Chain A
């Protein structure tokens, strides 16, 4: 895990760091997420970098036990991976690892998950088609 490299799972996922926090959107699950400063710093740096590299940058910026910080960062990345928000990659980041500007006592990042919009993703994979091949629903009276 420490040597694994990750990237945001684009284009299935889009992420944006704004005001130091992050918002992530998963376009096929219908879930969306937010995370705070530490989580956003991790998300922003997971672009072809190893978990150890990202944990090192976080550990340099925040005060706290280095081992505990590394484990918290790894746990957060595992959570991101489990949600399908990041995937492993063989590509190495081209840009230098940016320093984390916000400091202070380290607080383990939290990932807030929202499922209230799933119904908006209209998908009806089970459908009949008309003679030309266009989908019809029972409501059409043709299916």
Chain B
């Protein structure tokens, strides 16, 4: 990203120009302007198409705020389904599409294309201007609407001193914890249990962590995803919040979860920021809840791979930042037991203890 725009290969400059021009055409019939504070920084979304606005913005609703000082990041978004406007032809070859939705190219901008959702994300050099094309907003999978703009925010996070992390985050006025683990560990059920019990909530899948002397959790999404059977068995009174996942074969797909958009139901409990008190790695424990210190290595092993494998472009820098955070705050293994209230009490007690440590 060291090269200036003036020295970019012509095809890269032309692509960015044509991409913005395509957005302008899509926006000719109107654009929805939304402003947010994400990680405390001013962000503006310019959205062409009511359907796209309705699909993308509910998960960000808790971060909506005026930004009189102007935007640190402006994102132009449109979808072809509603506007009929197509993006320019890609300047890279057909074999440029790689793991983690990355697009391998030599241009001075970041690009990712998610083939499962049909979303192209482009962040220009300087990390202040971005464009997103969605093939058809009406066909966006629910998991995309639960965590929109994830690729962009993953690239943008280091520009504001942060790093996306795969984990849930809950807390109290005394601070919060990240629940970091892969699926099937009780992470989402525990996070929703905490929300249900009145704790603050900063996300169940992805949050931003800011390092330094006082690590901070920044909420990105007021959403939750849960395997339908777990929701019905463990938190049936929240089932009405769930939307059908739209996946044909329940249980066979890692994305096959119901999605809940939480801002309208728990507005007072959505926390934009929480001081990070500990990283907690949950696992199912029939005799739980139990809590035991966990080595920094094991915390990093639970937090880092699952984070970087899902973020286009994440590499050694992400591992460095996550390890710095893991070395700064304590780590615990949480045995998630069958009594949800007891699990919540264990987390609440842990936060209280670490806040006064």
How far apart are A133's CB and chain B's nearest CB, in angstroms? 5
Q: Which residues of A contact B327 (CB under 8 A)?
A: 18-19
Given the known A-B contacts A116-B182, A125-B95, are A21 and B319 also in contact in the complex, defined by CB atoms under 8 Å? no
Is B309 touching A121 in the complex (CB atoms < 8 A)? yes
CA A18 to CA B99, docked complex, whole Å = 27
Interface size range on A against B? 35 or more
Q: Please provide the chain A residues from 4 to 49 with a CB less than 8 Å away from any CB of chain B in the complex.
A: 10-11, 14-16, 18-19, 21-23, 25, 27-28, 30, 32, 34
Q: Which residue of A has the minimal Cβ distance to B314?
A: A27
B297: interface (CB < 8 Å): yes
Is A11 touching B316 in the complex (CB atoms < 8 A)? yes
Q: Tally B residues with Cβ within 8 Å of A.
A: 43
Is B114 touching A122 in the complex (CB atoms < 8 A)? yes
Is A132 touching B297 in the complex (CB atoms < 8 A)? no
Interface stretch among A57-65, A68-76, A96-104, A134-142? Answer: A134-142
B100: interface (CB < 8 Å): yes
Is A23 touching B315 in the complex (CB atoms < 8 A)? no
Q: Which residues of B contact A120 (CB under 8 A)?
A: 254, 306, 309-310
A124: interface (CB < 8 Å): yes
Q: Which residues of A contact B113 (CB under 8 A)?
A: 134-135
Is B296 touching A19 in the complex (CB atoms < 8 A)? yes
Q: Please provide the chain B residues from 88 to 104 with a CB less than 8 Å away from any CB of chain A in the complex.
A: 88-90, 94-95, 97-101
Is B98 touching A32 in the complex (CB atoms < 8 A)? no
A119: interface (CB < 8 Å): yes
B135: interface (CB < 8 Å): yes
Is B296 touching A122 in the complex (CB atoms < 8 A)? no
Q: Which residues of A contact B233 (CB under 8 A)?
A: none
CA A10 to CA B301, docked complex, whole Å = 19
B357: interface (CB < 8 Å): no
How far apart are A90's CB and chain B's nearest CB, in angstroms? 22
CA A137 to CA B94, docked complex, whole Å = 14
CA A19 to CA B297, docked complex, whole Å = 6
Taking Cβ atoms with an 8 Å cutoff, the residues of A that contact B are: 10-11, 14-16, 18-19, 21-23, 25, 27-28, 30, 32, 34, 114, 116-117, 119-125, 127, 129, 132-137, 139-140
> What are 12 contact pairs spanning A and B, CB under 8 A?
A16-B320, A19-B297, A23-B323, A30-B99, A32-B304, A117-B182, A123-B99, A123-B100, A124-B115, A127-B94, A132-B90, A134-B90
Given A22-B297, A34-B301, list of 8 further CB < 8 A pairs? Answer: A14-B316, A14-B318, A16-B300, A27-B315, A117-B309, A134-B90, A134-B135, A135-B94
